[in-house]
Amino acid sequence: MQRIDVVFYREGRYWVAQALNVDISSFGDTIDEARAAIDEALEFHFEDSPDHASTTRSAPRMRV
């Protein structure tokens, strides 16, 4: 399982979640929304990876 480092920061009125190991980011009105959005974006990104078939959640493990 791959570990993905994610940072969260404010940009204007939004919270941005930026994955550092892959070129993926997302945002939300709250940090919780940004966390859910980046989780979903990572899920879509890795859904075709071989590790994904053996898990029910995202293949990568998010470290915040």
Residue 5, helix vs strand vs coil: strand
Q: Are 47 and 55 in contact (CB under 8 A)?
A: no
Place of tokens 């204007």: 12
Q: Profile the chain (64 residues) by mean pLDDT over runs of 10 residues.
A: 90 97 96 97 87 48 55
What is the predicted pLDDT for the residue at 56? 39
* Tokens (6 digits) for 45: 């990104």
Give residue limits of the domains in the chain: 3-63
